[in-house]
Copies of this chain bind each other. A is one copy, B any other.
Amino acid sequence: MSYNKTASITVETINPKVKTINYELRGEIARHAEMLQEEIEKNPGSRPFPEILYCNLGNPQALGQRPISFFREVLSLCDNPTLLHRDEARTLFSPCAINRARRIIESMPGRDTGSYTDSQGIRSFREAVANGIAARDGFPSRPEEIFLTDGASSAINLTMQLLIRSDEDAILCPLPECPLYSSSIILHGGTMVPYNLSEDGDWGLEIFEVKRCLEEARISGLTVRAMVIINPANPTGQVLSMANQEEIVEFCRKEGLVLLADEVYQDNVYVEDKKFNSFKKVARSLGYDKNDISIVSFHSASMGYYGECGRRGGYMEICGFGEDVLGEIYKVASVTLCPNIGGQILTSLVMDPPKLGDESFETFLAEKDNIHSSLVKRAKTLEDAFNSLESMTCNRIEGAMYLFPRIQLPSAAIKAANAEGVSPDTFYACRLLDATGILVVPGSAFHQVSGRDRASGTCHIRCTVLPSEEKIKAMIPRLRDFHESFMDEFRDRS
């Protein structure tokens, strides 16, 4: 046998699953935007816009959202616990933060933050999370069923690793979808079975459509193990109604599907007539316990009013798997030793924030309400702006962090996209970026088909609600000007 080293590690010889995944969220357009940003920094004035406006990622603090002071004070003290013994620290840190940090440090191995923890996360943090869930839902939660993780994405990967045995195992996922799911399913060797959300029905989830997909998948020989639901939804911004959630619980229960509830946007609801309900709460309210239905709920410290993306904090609550299965999950979690301590601390804070009566409560509440009410305002402003544009329609944004407007592109624009070998939505997003510096994600990154003609797909962009109110105000006229001239450019030839 002879081996040629230089040929050994090429894209042709790596794991083909790695090649297959398509993670456009951080793909081509994002890299082009980075390049433009560098160009502007080197050569101010070289482009018709002063900076790139990153409306592509749910990354609130990168766009100026301020962190919650209490959270950061606690983190800062925990990272350097010697401060807890210094009187001068009282001038820089609130008494509440000092007390909380002291309690946290007491519960740590080695009374400091430098050690590996339990692979499942520090027990007292899991208790804080479980208590937070119980207070939110009105139903008990057990720390034994909580796994702290490096963000929700690690938890989702671990779950896919557990559930998928071969490409005959399938997972039902919403379309348009969050590319994390398809990537994770592909990497773990499984099959994704997409079900369409109904754009005409406010991006709602229609059980008959899911049933159709499930049946087709079963007929083709697949074993469907689980159903993913993102609520509030990414990228569509929908918040499910209680009635819809009840249907879903009934469906999963009857069909023996694990309900994978992506609930990372639970603190991002923007409309008065909708409210976040966890799927576990819905199931328990219907009288179903862990023997009736298995639910894994994912949450993250990256979203909500906290938006601490860089910390990579999160948890999953696993209800309805046996103790022995939890043991197996623990074993896999052990392979990467433990979730990072900063993320663990932050997750405990998100689920156990200052309470009425605590000295820090008023400041905390003011900061939180400020962020939330501003997000409500920004969401509405952008929704109205998109709806005011020619050939653009945007459903109501009820929650999460994104608008997902649909554009009826002129045929000439679609032809031009075909000529460039890109999908029409990518074509539109690239032109928007080059003209205005506004970076959005084409709908096809969420596997929403944007076909070669009007009949074979629909064209969307995803735009976050995260730029500051001021920047949104400046952004809308730029968006409008671009859109008008784009439509004009292609109108005549259509």
Contact = CB atoms under 8 A, between A and B. Distances in A.
A115 B56 CA distance: 13
Contacts of A292: 5
17 contacts: A1-B218, A5-B253, A6-B291, A8-B225, A9-B322, A11-B324, A11-B328, A14-B163, A21-B331, A26-B334, A72-B79, A79-B79, A150-B336, A311-B341, A312-B341, A340-B340, A340-B343
Give the number of copies in the complex: 2
B11 A342 contact: no
A161 B187 CA distance: 8
A187 B335 contact: yes
Interface string A1-35: 10111101111001110110101011000000000
A188 B91 CA distance: 51
A6 B72 CA distance: 43
**Which residue, A150, A311, A320, has most C-beta atoms of chain B within 10 A?**
A150
A322 B10 contact: yes
Contact of A4 (B19, B256, B339): B256
Given A76-B77, A161-B187, A336-B151, A62 B18 contact: no
Interface string A146-161: 0000110110010001
A257 to B, nearest CB: 8
Chain A to chain B: the 5 pairs with minimum beta-carbon distance, closest first? A3-B256, A61-B114, A76-B80, A5-B256, A310-B341
Contact of A21 (B21, B88, B335, B342): B335
A294 interface: yes
A6 B253 CA distance: 9
A119 interface: yes
Contact of A161 (B18, B23, B332): B18
Contacts of A3: 255-256
Nearest to A64: B110
Nearest to A113: B310
Nearest to A150: B150
Contacts of A183: 335
A92 to B, nearest CB: 6
A308 interface: yes
A124 interface: no
B258 A340 contact: no
Contacts of A165: 14-16
A307 B115 CA distance: 8
A57 interface: yes
**Which residue, A77, A79, A180, A292, has most C-beta atoms of chain B within 10 A?**
A79
A338 interface: yes
A309 B114 contact: yes
Interface in A62-84: 62-65, 67, 69, 72-73, 75-77, 79-80, 82-83
Interface string A136-180: 000000000000001101100100011111000000000000001
Given A83-B76, A256-B8, A332-B187, A63 B320 contact: no
A184 B335 contact: yes
A18 B331 contact: yes
A57 B150 contact: no
Contacts of A67: 112, 114
A189 interface: yes
Contacts of A88: 88, 91-92
Contacts of A343: 340
A328 B19 contact: yes
Contacts of A10: 322, 324-325
**Which residue, A1, A183, A310, has most C-beta atoms of chain B within 10 A?**
A310
A395 interface: no
Contacts of A8: 225, 256-258, 294
Contacts of A65: 114
A371 interface: no
Interface in A49-64: 57, 59-64
A115 B9 contact: no
A91 B90 CA distance: 12
A331 B253 CA distance: 35
Contacts of A164: 15
